[in-house]
């Protein structure tokens, strides 16, 4: 990507999305510094210019066009943008919340980060209060932030929602509402131009938008990268891998993995009683289970978009072990781990029920990083890359369809095994 100063790119982190936003900002700063250095090297060689003088000339030009008096920082070094828009969030005792922008956003492209599944204690009001937000609290915080940004004259508003709130309420049964669509309509009504999310639960949600663009990213490359570290996919010690779809709804996702890894695909067929609503990982609405395929003597790998209480996944992994799988590995794009799910997975791991869970950092769970059975794969770099391309009006095709880089990853793994052999 050619270098361009991101003077109009601003990031606002809602209280729930602060950790993920900070990671993305770190990537943004590294990316723009790398591009600046690359641009400087190429131009200095092409026009036989002194590198140090060229850096000063670029900084001089930026100082001349900035709306501020000058850009802060040394004149002879790269000056990384701050990106972050300082925002004060006030939590009131009755549960109301207020967002106040401390920096100007007029004419800027603003990216608002929110993690609606972050249920860790959050310091509010300068540390005077410690609050645990519900999904509804996070959604309301997002809405008041959108309103503040819109009224402050931002040029565009993009929501960065790794976990799309209420995405499981996308189908209408009886006299119930379509809450996912409701939120889409509210975002659009308040002037949101774009939403960036990760492995959205249902593609039907995209149809709820008329003018707002939804960019649905995939963590498959990051997941396979971690999978190659714990499973031998090539060489003399190659392990026999089979991809297993945990249900009919996840068949497309797991077919993608099976195709990319060039391994067989199996499926678990479940007959459910939808009159039963599960409250924790020990409850389930599954009446009977059948395996379509063979996992005996093989490593079973199954992938799903999200994990709530985890009851369904735990039963699926136990079932695969009973069917003769040597190892059971699961990949979850958006790991909620609701309620006491982490404790139940601890127990299942001690009992040898599964080998590893690969999950992204789309949901903030600092305690998961301490678990031997959990492998965290970082998607903040993916989001940073998407943000820069959107900001500079560049194509996202190779990031939204990552089959090419997955093929390169698998080939690299094969070449490494051959070299070591």
CATH 3.40.50.2020 fits 220-378+402-420, yes or no: yes
**Residue 304 forms beta bridges with which residues?**
332
CB atoms within 10 A of CB 118: 22
Strands of the sheet with 213-217, listed across from one edge? 9-13, 109-113, 156-161, 194-198, 213-217
- Give Cβ neighbours of residue 328 (< 8 Å, ≥ 6 apart): 299, 300, 302, 317, 320, 321, 353, 354, 355
Helix (H), strand (E) at residue 52:
helix 51-65
- CA–chain centroid gap for 69, Å, is 37
- Give the span between the Cα atoms of 145 and 142, in whole angstroms: 5
Give the alpha-carbon dihedral of 48, 52, 54, 56, to 10 degrees. -160
Q: Name the token pair of 404.
A: 């090419």
CA-to-CA distance for 421 and 417, rounded, in angstroms? Answer: 6
Task: Spell out the residues 6+ positions from residue 411 whose beta carbon is closer than 8 angstroms to its own.
Answer: none
User: What are 266's two structure tokens?
Assistant: 């199996």
| Tens of each residue's pLDDT in the chain, 421 residues | 344 567 799 999 999 999 999 999 999 999 999 988 998 899 999 999 999 999 898 888 888 877 777 777 888 888 888 899 999 999 999 999 999 999 999 999 999 999 999 999 999 999 999 999 999 999 999 999 999 999 999 999 999 999 999 999 988 888 899 999 999 999 999 999 999 999 999 888 999 999 999 999 999 999 999 999 999 987 778 899 999 999 888 999 999 999 999 999 999 987 777 677 666 656 666 777 899 999 999 999 999 999 999 988 998 999 999 999 999 999 999 999 999 999 999 999 999 999 999 999 999 999 999 999 999 999 999 999 999 999 999 999 988 888 888 888 877 766 665 555 4
| Residue 4 tokens, joined | 């361009």
Both structure tokens of 257: 């993995």
In the numeric block, the tokens 């009973």 are attached to 322
Q: Which class for 293: exposed (0-12), middle (13-18), buried (19 or more C-beta within 10 A)?
A: middle
The secondary structure element, H or E, covering residue 234 is none
38 and 62 Cβ atoms separated by less than 8 Å: no
Q: What confidence score (pLDDT) does residue 1 get?
A: 39
Give whole-number Cα distances, 87 to 3, 132, 388, in Å. 28, 19, 22
**Any idea what DSSP says for residue 369?**
G
- Kindly tell me the burial class for residue 159, based on how many C-beta atoms sit within 10 Å of its own C-beta (0-12, 13-18, 19 or more): buried
Structure confidence at residue 5 (pLDDT): 66
Place of tokens 């990507």: 1
């Amino acid at each position: 990507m050619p270098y361009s100063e991101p003077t109009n790119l601003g990031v606002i982190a809602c209280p729930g999305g602060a950790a993920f936003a900070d990671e993305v900002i770190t990537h943004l700063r590294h990316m723009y510094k790398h591009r600046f250095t690359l641009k400087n090297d190429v131009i200095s060689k092409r026009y036989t210019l002194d590198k140090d003088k060229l850096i000063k000339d670029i900084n001089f030009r930026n100082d001349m066009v900035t709306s501020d008096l000058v850009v802060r920082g040394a004149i002879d070094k790269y000056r990384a943008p701050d990106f972050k828009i300082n925002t004060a969030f006030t939590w009131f005792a009755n549960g109301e919340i207020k967002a106040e922008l401390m920096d100007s956003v007029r004419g800027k492209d603003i990216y608002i980060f929110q993690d609606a599944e972050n249920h860790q204690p959050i310091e509010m009001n300068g540390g005077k209060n410690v609050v645990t937000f519900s999904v509804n609290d996070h959604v309301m915080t997002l809405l008041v932030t959108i309103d503040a940004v819109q009224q402050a004259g931002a040029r565009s508003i993009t929501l960065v929602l790794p976990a799309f709130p209420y995405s499981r309420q996308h189908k209408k049964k009886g006299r119930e509402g379509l809450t996912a669509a409701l939120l889409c309509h509210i975002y659009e009504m308040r002037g949101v131009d774009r939403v960036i999310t990760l492995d959205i639960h249902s593609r039907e949600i995209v149809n709820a938008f008329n003018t707002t663009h939804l960019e649905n990213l995939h963590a498959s490359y990051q997941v396979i990268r971690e999978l190659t570290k714990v499973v031998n996919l090539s060489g003399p010690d190659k392990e026999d891998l089979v991809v297993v779809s945990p249900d009919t709804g996840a068949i497309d996702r797991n077919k993608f993995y099976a195709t990319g890894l060039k391994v067989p695909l199996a499926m678990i067929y479940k007959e459910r009683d939808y009159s039963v609503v599960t409250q924790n990982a020990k409850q389930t609405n599954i009446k009977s289970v059948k395996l379509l395929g063979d996992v005996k003597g093989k490593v079973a790998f199954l992938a799903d978009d999200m994990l709530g209480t985890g009851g369904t996944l735990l039963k699926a992994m136990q079932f695969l072990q009973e069917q003769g799988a040597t190892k059971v590995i699961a990949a979850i794009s958006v790991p909620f781990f609701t309620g006491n799910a982490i404790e139940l997975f601890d127990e299942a791991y001690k009992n040898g029920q599964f080998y590893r869970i690969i999950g992204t950092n789309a949901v903030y769970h600092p305690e998961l990083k301490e678990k031997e059975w959990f492998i965290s794969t970082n998607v903040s770099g993916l989001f940073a890359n998407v943000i820069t391309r959107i900001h500079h009006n560049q194509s996202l095709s190779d990031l939204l369809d990552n089959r090419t880089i997955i093929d390169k990853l698998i080939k690299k793994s094969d070449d490494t095994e051959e070299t070591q052999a």
